[in-house]
A = this chain, B = another copy of it.
Amino acid sequence: MSNKEALFQKIDNKKLTVGVIGLGYVGLPLAVCFAVKQVKVLGFDTSSERVEKINSGSNYISDVSDDQLADLVKQQKISATTDFTNMRECNALFICVPTPLDRFKKPDMSYIENVCRQVGANLQPGTFISLESTTYPTTTEDFVQPIIEEESGLKEGKDFWLAYSPERVDPGNKQFSTQNTPKVLGAISEDGLEIGKAIYSIAVDEIHTVSSPRIAEMVKILENTYRLVNISLINELALLAGKMDINIWEVIDAAATKPFGFQAFYPGPGVGGHCIPLDPFYLEHIAKKFNFDLSMIHTAGHIDLLMAHRMTVKITSALNRQKKAINASKILFLGVAYKPDINDERESPALKIMEEVENKGGEVSYHDPFIPTVQIATGSRFNSVELSESVLKAADCVVITTNHSGFDAGFIEKHSRLIVDLRNVIAEASDKVYKL
């Protein structure tokens, strides 16, 4: 029996063991999707804290159900380990590690590289491997494949199969999860595509295959470049609209009545999260190799880079009308999550504004019902304060940085002395309410 036939037999009998490497907001939901279909999942992570949590049935990802995870661990469908040699038990490996940018906004490929070395060192013939981490086009073919082949001495397309399938996780999305979001899949070899589609189809409702990994890599970057560009566009227009006495939210709502050719984006203090602020710059990075300048991404990134500063200027202007400076003023931020109703503050613009306000001598505090404590780049750590009448009254300026659905606009407006609303939470601007 060929490697391929042997693997298909395991797929058909659901006798395969799946390894998920990286148990974060991408890997854990994927692990659950396989496990609920009665496939045995082995989770790998370098964090022994995460591994222990999972093995004790304790969830830490908001898109995963606590009960479901506990149940799957109890049924022994999911277990986790820090020991990467256990990859040898797996028939399929899904790489779901982060791909951050370094401090100079260049791709930090070290996570992928380290994992690929481990995968190569432990690779058994007949294994399917899929990279899910967002990265620049050509990564799978030109970066991942050579490392794995070198470390394993095995050959793609014969001894193992390599594919790329971008994660499309939208944290907090109640309608679309890993299971019901169509999955794009591109593989190096035809066999790899056939095998990958069969394996992913166990866990995910719909698989959209494409002709190569680089197409699949580009798909994810296009999706998030579209978002970065449109958010930066509307942010820039919002800043102009503010000068022209035009309520940009009223404009957007009216434009959204156009029944064709328009998608509404809303302004705010800048993009946040693990995808939109990062993914486009992966493409900008590889474009250089092709002597190509991506001016739209560059311009959008430039607008976004300045948003926190521009928001600080808005706060300064609002305080100035009351003859106050930021220095020694009490500034209360409402919401540090990068979008509403989630507990994720990665790359959140609120943190950058807090940093700048603190650097200017402001007394910073914040309230966020989803995030009890945060640390900003200066090292300062804050604990969420209660959102009470007295807390609002004590602040020289209340800055609304996230539009959590639980925020009571009337209550906030009533008890605050000065509000800078960056999220259209308060309907009308007034003497004490400044809008973005």
Chain A residues engaging chain B, CB cutoff 8 angstroms: 137-138, 168, 170, 173, 175-176, 181-182, 184, 206, 208, 210-212, 214-216, 218-219, 222-223, 225-227, 229-230, 232-233, 236-237, 239-241, 243-248, 250-252, 254-255, 257-263, 283, 286-287, 290, 292, 294-296, 298-300, 302-303
- The count of identical subunits is 2
Q: Which residues of B contact A225 (CB under 8 A)?
A: 233, 237
Whether A229 and B233, one on each chain, are in contact in the complex, defined by CB atoms closer than 8 angstroms, is yes
For residue A393, give the distance in angstroms from its CB to the closest CB of chain B: 31
Whether B214 and A237, one on each chain, are in contact in the complex, defined by CB atoms closer than 8 angstroms, is no
User: Known: A214-B245, A247-B211. Contact between A182 and B290, CB under 8 A?
Assistant: no
User: Known: A168-B258, A255-B222. Contact between A137 and B244, CB under 8 A?
Assistant: yes
Whether B176 and A259, one on each chain, are in contact in the complex, defined by CB atoms closer than 8 angstroms, is yes
For residue A211, give the distance in angstroms from its CB to the closest CB of chain B: 6
Of chain B, the residue at the smallest CB distance from A186 is B254
Main secondary structure of the interface of A (DSSP, over half): helix
Docked pose: A208 CA to B252 CA in angstroms: 12
Q: Which residues of B contact A223 (CB under 8 A)?
A: 255, 258, 261-262
Residue in A245, A251, A262, A300 with the greatest tally of chain B CB atoms within 10 Å: A251
Q: List 29 A-B contacts (CB under 8 A).
A: A168-B258, A176-B259, A176-B260, A181-B258, A182-B259, A184-B254, A184-B257, A208-B257, A212-B246, A215-B250, A215-B254, A223-B255, A223-B258, A223-B262, A226-B233, A226-B255, A226-B262, A229-B229, A229-B230, A233-B296, A239-B292, A240-B287, A240-B290, A240-B292, A263-B263, A295-B302, A296-B299, A296-B303, A298-B299
Docked pose: A250 CA to B261 CA in angstroms: 21
Pick the contact of A246: B137, B176, B181 (CB < 8 A): B137
Whether A292 and B258, one on each chain, are in contact in the complex, defined by CB atoms closer than 8 angstroms, is no
Q: Which residues of B contact A138 (CB under 8 A)?
A: 244
Whether B219 and A255, one on each chain, are in contact in the complex, defined by CB atoms closer than 8 angstroms, is yes
Of chain B, the residue at the smallest CB distance from A228 is B233
Q: Which residues of B contact A243 (CB under 8 A)?
A: 290, 292
For residue A241, give the distance in angstroms from its CB to the closest CB of chain B: 7
Q: Which residues of B contact A283 (CB under 8 A)?
A: 237, 240
Pick the contact of A254: B181, B208, B246 (CB < 8 A): B208
Of chain B, the residue at the smallest CB distance from A168 is B258
Of chain B, the residue at the smallest CB distance from A138 is B244
With A168-B258, A240-B287 known, 14 other A-B pairs at CB within 8 A are: A170-B261, A173-B260, A176-B260, A182-B257, A182-B259, A214-B244, A223-B261, A229-B229, A233-B296, A236-B295, A237-B294, A240-B290, A243-B292, A244-B286
Whether A230 and B226, one on each chain, are in contact in the complex, defined by CB atoms closer than 8 angstroms, is yes
Q: Which residues of B contact A182 (CB under 8 A)?
A: 257-259
Pick the contact of A295: B248, B251, B303 (CB < 8 A): B303
Q: Which residues of B contact A296 (CB under 8 A)?
A: 229, 232-233, 236, 296, 299-300, 303
Of chain B, the residue at the smallest CB distance from A243 is B290
Q: Which residues of B contact A170 (CB under 8 A)?
A: 260-261
Residue in A138, A222, A236, A287 with the greatest tally of chain B CB atoms within 10 Å: A222
